[in-house]
């Protein structure tokens, strides 16, 4: 799995702690991981943690003050072998389904030719909402792949469908994909 580039897109969800574990496990499997966070995700975890875990720069702003003069959403999209959105909130799923590219992560998703996998994480009522389900159906029809969610304890304290799948299940799917795709 060496030299395979995974862009890990992280949105603002309590499940963000699983992204740290996911990043570490994918690195252990030999993948290079670059993290792209939504600006709201910084409310849960500081980018420094992802930088230390990934050993790569973390990207957040669409128009950064970088001095390498690359258009980041294009350069990141081009280097990706897989874009993995984990956790993916209802907001992120809705913006992608609507074709919005109003931040770095959604612009990257719109620019990439790599497969995009989405790991939803939200409350059960949000997940079952007809609009969210319509957005998921639309994205699936366009070739986006969904992993999860699963039933379990939610941030609200309730038990229901909407919990981000466990890290090992995602790692297993990623490894299977790269074994068959390459």
Model confidence pLDDT, tens digit, residues 128-164: 999 999 999 999 999 999 999 999 999 989 999 999 9
Q: What does the alpha-carbon distance between residue 147 and residue 74 come to, in Å, rounded to a whole number?
A: 25
- Asked if residue 2 has pLDDT above 70, the reply is no
The model carries a pTM of 0.93
Structural domains present in the chain: 5-181 (3.40.50.1950)
CA distance 171 to 149: 15
CA angle 118, 148, 111 (to 5 degrees): 5
- Please name which of 7, 172, 26, 178 lies closest in space to residue 82, comparing C-alpha atoms: 7
Q: Cα separation of 120 and 165, whole Å?
A: 8
Euclidean distance between the first and final Cα of the chain, in Å? 9
How would residue 88 be classed by pLDDT, with cut points 50, 70 and 90? very high
Asked if 36 and 9 touch (Cβ cutoff 8 Å), the reply is yes
* Residue 79: per-residue pLDDT: 87
Answer whether 149's CB lies under 8 Å from 165's CB.
yes
Does residue 13 register a pLDDT over 70?
yes
Between 78 and 93, residue with greater pLDDT: 93
Phi and psi, residue 128, nearest 5°: -85, -5
In the predicted model, what is the mean pLDDT of residues 11-32? 96
Q: Can you give the pLDDT at residue 64?
A: 61
Check residue 74 and give its pLDDT: 72
Q: Are strands 5-10 and 116-120 parallel, antiparallel or unpaired?
A: unpaired
Report whether pLDDT(181) > 80: no
1 and 31 in contact (C-beta within 8 Å)?
yes
């Amino acid at each position: 799995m060496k030299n395979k580039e995974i862009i890990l897109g992280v949105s603002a969800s309590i499940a963000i702690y699983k992204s740290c574990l996911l990043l570490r496990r994918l690195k252990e499997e030999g993948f290079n991981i670059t993290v792209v966070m939504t600006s709201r995700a910084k409310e849960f975890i500081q980018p420094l943690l992802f930088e230390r875990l990934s050993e790569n720069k973390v990207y957040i702003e669409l128009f950064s003050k970088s001095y390498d003069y690359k258009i980041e959403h294009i350069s990141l999209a081009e280097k990706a072998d897989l874009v993995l959105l984990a956790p993916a909130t209802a907001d992120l799923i809705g913006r992608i389904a609507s074709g919005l590219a109003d931040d770095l992560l959604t612009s990257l998703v719109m620019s990439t030719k790599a497969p995009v996998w989405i790991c939803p994480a939200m409350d059960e009522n949000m997940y079952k909402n007809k609009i969210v389900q319509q957005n998921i159906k639309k994205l699936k029809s366009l070739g986006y792949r969904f992993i999860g969610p699963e039933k379990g304890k939610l941030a609200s304290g309730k038990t229901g469908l909407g919990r981000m799948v466990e890290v090992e299940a995602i790692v297993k799917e990623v490894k299977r994909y790269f074994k068959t795709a390459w």
